[in-house]
Structure 1
């Protein structure tokens, strides 16, 4: 029965709390079905169970479903502003994923129409200032709610909770991070998104780390013709199985503004790591979690000795820019503490099907013997983490040890590294100074060079409509790196909420913040609600 432990509370807490909005008469009882068995129980009996853990005679037949996880889901309350609940629910239900979720919920709760679910959520928000499963159930305008427990359990196994939490957050982030007031006029002489006036050259190397079985590391160096000796070198680390062309446009952009850039390509690991079973935790060999940051250190060491580059690269001060797994590399080298104890706890207690792809990659590290590990490299002075894989491996406090400023990108429609678990919760751990660039409706690969995107695991938005995001990344990345130079004040306006918002389009609203508002932090602190 272990696979079906989502049960009544988990499925209802999930389904009813994610869907929502406006009613009249309230539900009083629930009809529970499981195969040939059926029992009607009062909602007050379920409420008593949630508070005390005691099962009424009517509930005892279904005791196998009412696990501690279900009780936790029943008791969890999500504080939400009634003014924004309608917009959040509306956007969810209009999306194709929302319609599919509604279909699945209706299979578990036959008789509940979208209108009834919306009505229940809306009234619950008005009555109790938030959402919880029992509050929503009470508010649904029908006397009896029927729940098919076998379908409810199956529903729980189909849903990527991280993705849905992130979907619900998108509208909240867009509204709560908006900058009010008149548009700000920026220095028209500078457009940080446009190519700079400085010529640059591109050099390519293939390095091999003899200490690690001649591990091959192809590298591109974008060498500016007019670099400042004090300007940090930017080292770019692409994601899992991505080529160094993935963010090549960013390297070229920075070089045209006088910043030297090194782009590293990590070895392909899937062909040489044979899967003997369908084990998603083995997509990434555990050692890669340690080898990838070492790749960047090795490249810095080697290029520092390269005769053609002597005196041209400032490798005593480095900004690491990474996408996805590359974002993990950057945060680790900046001092983020790897917590393998907490990682093992998460991976051992969570179900494979409920994890995001980012979780699969991180859970590969549960076999690493160390408990706590710090890979800090003192040469790293800043981090640009784009859609980073960061939600599990640093534990609940590892990122508080980061020693550098951080610019982080999160995309609300990212199905691979969901914003809720992989960026927003990690962002809360980071010390100041820090910046969160939020791209509403963007996906995991939206930031990539669209000419270098191959076959994808999920549907991605990488076309011309994503150019405003790529432009914002070019501009904020340049402004961020310039903060380590004598031009810091000149570029400071381009690292502000007003500037980033000015780059928005109706399709891709953009926001920048150094702190999350209370409405968002409350939601993040409720991460264990399901």
Structure 2
């Protein structure tokens, strides 16, 4: 189906949002304690949770709990509690390059999300306005770029640890759905020589066990030439190579920033397009809403609305 830039509002009005940071979760054995931002609607109960994993952009602050406001604010304004960690890979931490796991900390990133789920009670206690308002049984994960790799692992993708050759399975059963935004695809001969040599954990990613439902979002102009030799189609691999149920949103003319999801008016967005961001906001929200609440019509309504105009911005397919 083709999606359009029709912006007719099929959703309820946005609620006021509270945002609290940093909420500090003690993390023995981690290089530093885990800091998160919590964004939530001011009202409502039994609120579902989205864990949002940042990417590795060029800016100094977007790759941290301070990034991705266009997504976090929208999701929170429409009924989700969004929790954003600062992973050890963030430039804001300026860790010693010799720190174990550097520079991308692929394993630690996924462990951060599991630690948050282990400590949801502590998150609620740290934000008094949230006390008793979270639904711990309704949890989703989302991630952009390297954050998409993190989310993939939690959704069931596996890899071989380049340090010891063991198979790594970090599937998180408490997560019921996911959104992968410009996520990395398969390894092997799809990678540039530099990535294969310096970030070898990418080489063995296997999506065949990624059974948790997910929406994969990819830009058809996102060549990511620093990572892959296959061009934009590489970012569709998490959809193509995983079992259903999955959906793929391919955004026309979108590059790695998908219109500007990592922040408002940021210089590293090479394809800034507010309408495209609005579409990503709506479709990702609607997908997760319908996945966490079976029978909820949000996803179908979003697809119907966003495919009805004369100017398609992308297409959606499912399996």
TM over 0.5: yes
Note the C-alpha offset of 1:472: 1.0
- Equivalent residue number for residue 64 of structure 2: 243
Distance in 1 separating the partners of 2:45 and 2:291: 11
- Equivalent residue number for residue 140 of structure 2: 319
* Alignment deviations for residues 352-398 of structure 1 (CA, whole Å, 9 cap, x no partner): xxxxxxxxxxxxxx4x2133110011111011010012322577782
Note the C-alpha offset of 1:331: 1.2
- Equivalent residue number for residue 243 of structure 2: 431
Alignment of 1:52-201 (within 5 A): 178=2, 190-192=9-11, 196-201=13-18
Pair 1:264-2:85 in alignment: yes
- Give the structure, 1 or 2, with the largest relative contact order (CA under 8 Å, sep 6 or more): 2
**Partner SS, residue 311 of structure 1:** coil
2:34 to 214, 217, 221: 217
- Equivalent residue number for residue 271 of structure 2: 461
1:227 to 44, 60, 69: 44
Distance in 1 separating the partners of 2:20 and 2:183: 27
Distance in 1 separating the partners of 2:97 and 2:32: 18
- Equivalent residue number for residue 477 of structure 1: 284
RMSD over aligned CA atoms reads: 3.2
Note the C-alpha offset of 1:487: 7.6
Note the C-alpha offset of 1:178: 4.6
- Runs of 5+ in structure 2 lacking a partner? 58-62, 188-200
1:510 to 292, 304, 314: 314
Larger gyration radius, structure 1 or structure 2: 1
Contact preservation (8 Å) 2:177, 2:292: no
1:373 to 168, 177, 182: 168
Note the C-alpha offset of 1:451: 2.7
Note the C-alpha offset of 1:449: 4.6
**Partner SS, residue 156 of structure 2:** coil
Note the C-alpha offset of 1:292: 0.6
Note the C-alpha offset of 1:266: 1.7
- Equivalent residue number for residue 211 of structure 2: 403
Distance in 2 separating the partners of 1:245 and 1:205: 10
- Equivalent residue number for residue 490 of structure 1: 297
Distance in 2 separating the partners of 1:266 and 1:447: 21
Note the C-alpha offset of 1:233: 0.6
**Partner SS, residue 118 of structure 2:** helix
- Equivalent residue number for residue 253 of structure 1: 74
Note the C-alpha offset of 1:305: 2.3
- Equivalent residue number for residue 37 of structure 1: none
Distance in 2 separating the partners of 1:408 and 1:261: 19
Note the C-alpha offset of 1:339: 3.4
Note the C-alpha offset of 1:336: 1.2
Note the C-alpha offset of 1:287: 6.9
* Alignment deviations for residues 120-158 of structure 1 (CA, whole Å, 9 cap, x no partner): xxxxxxxxxxxxxxxxxxxxxxxxxxxxxxxxxxxxxxx
Contact preservation (8 Å) 1:228, 1:258: no
Distance in 1 separating the partners of 2:265 and 2:212: 30
2:153 to 305, 328, 332: 332
Pair 1:385-2:185 in alignment: no
Pair 1:304-2:129 in alignment: no
- Runs of 5+ in structure 1 lacking a partner? 1-176, 276-281, 341-365, 516-530
Which structure has more helix as a fraction of its residues?
1
> How does the TM-score come out when normalised to structure 2?
0.77
Contact preservation (8 Å) 2:216, 2:236: no
**Partner SS, residue 159 of structure 2:** strand
**Partner SS, residue 19 of structure 2:** strand
- Equivalent residue number for residue 419 of structure 1: 232
Pair 1:202-2:19 in alignment: yes
**Partner SS, residue 203 of structure 1:** strand
Contact preservation (8 Å) 1:227, 1:259: no
- Equivalent residue number for residue 174 of structure 1: none
Distance in 2 separating the partners of 1:484 and 1:178: 21
Which structure has more strand as a fraction of its residues?
2
**Partner SS, residue 322 of structure 1:** strand
Note the C-alpha offset of 1:205: 2.3
